[in-house]
Amino acid sequence: MTHPALIERITRSLAYMLRHQPEKFDLDLDAHGFGDLAEVVRALNERLGEPVEVEDVEVAIASGDRPRYEIQGEKVRALYGHSIDVEPGETARPPELLYVGINARDARRAVQYGLRGGRRRFLHLAKTPEEARETGKRTGREYAVLTVFALDAWEEGVNFYDRQALFLAEQIPTDFLEITDTYEDGIEPAGDRDRGRGRSDRPERHERHERQEG
């Protein structure tokens, strides 16, 4: 049985390898973000300094509270959260409504000008208001949940991509956005607290962002 501590280390490392900087581990990802599973296992062994088998990676991926990675045959990829450029693949019909939790200032701008991905190419759209609120809490003290009229947007030509736990979209025009609720029980993002301290861009910094973004 794979030890829980090793499972956590594997999933944190996968985030860095498959979402952000695969080149640091000599990994070649294809256009859709898939890497060779054997090469990922090799990179995990080198990074973690302890034996990791394919079965350990499978257990780690299956252990999450929601799907973040997937294995297809001899390939593995992150489903979302990339800061590297990947092609999203086939579009998918969304449910009638989706939701996004963002900083309240950004929400006010979104209903005026539309919504686009920030440092990531794709927006992450939650399936429930509760999931969006959990994301919103991590964007600042004051945050909002936006309702996305996804099916209407789809019928007007906006592309959506199903990632099991959520949907992706590159942009949502203002006509399909509405502020559902605003809240003041959020937390200050770690990046804001660390700003000005001269921290280096270590892998661990990316891993902290992964824990925030889910």
Q: Between 129 and 211, where is the model more confident?
A: 129
- Residue 207 CB contacts under 8 Å (≥ 6 apart), including other chains: 12, 13, 15, 16
Q: Is the pLDDT confidence value at 206 over 60?
A: no
Q: Is residue 34 part of a domain?
A: yes
Same domain, 18 and 60: yes
Number of domains in the chain: 2
Same domain, 108 and 171: yes
Whole-angstrom CA distances from 42 to 5, 47, 52, 72, 183 are 19, 9, 8, 18, 45
Q: Is residue 193 part of a domain?
A: no
Percent of all residues in the chain with a pLDDT value above 70, rounded to a whole number? 86
Q: Is the pLDDT confidence value at 151 over 80?
A: yes
Report the chain's mean pLDDT, rounded to a whole number.
88
Q: Does residue 196 come out as left (phi exceeding 0), alpha (psi in the -120 to 50 range) or beta?
A: left
Residue range of the domain that includes 11: 4-78
Same domain, 34 and 68: yes
Element spanning 162, H or E: strand 161-162
Q: Is the pLDDT confidence value at 197 over 50?
A: no
Q: Is residue 50 part of a domain?
A: yes
Same domain, 42 and 111: no
Q: Per residue in 165-177, pLDDT tens?
A: 999 999 999 999 9
Assign residue 67 the CATH number of its domain: 1.10.10.970
Q: Is residue 205 part of a domain?
A: no
- Residue 85 CB contacts under 8 Å (≥ 6 apart), including other chains: 121
Q: Per residue in 53-65, pLDDT tens?
A: 999 999 999 998 8
Residue 191's pLDDT band, with cuts at 50, 70 and 90, is: low
Q: Per residue in 9-54, pLDDT tens?
A: 999 999 999 999 999 999 999 999 999 999 999 999 999 999 999 9
Q: What is the pTM of this model?
A: 0.79
Same domain, 72 and 121: no
Assign residue 127 the CATH number of its domain: 3.20.170.30
Q: Is residue 148 part of a domain?
A: yes
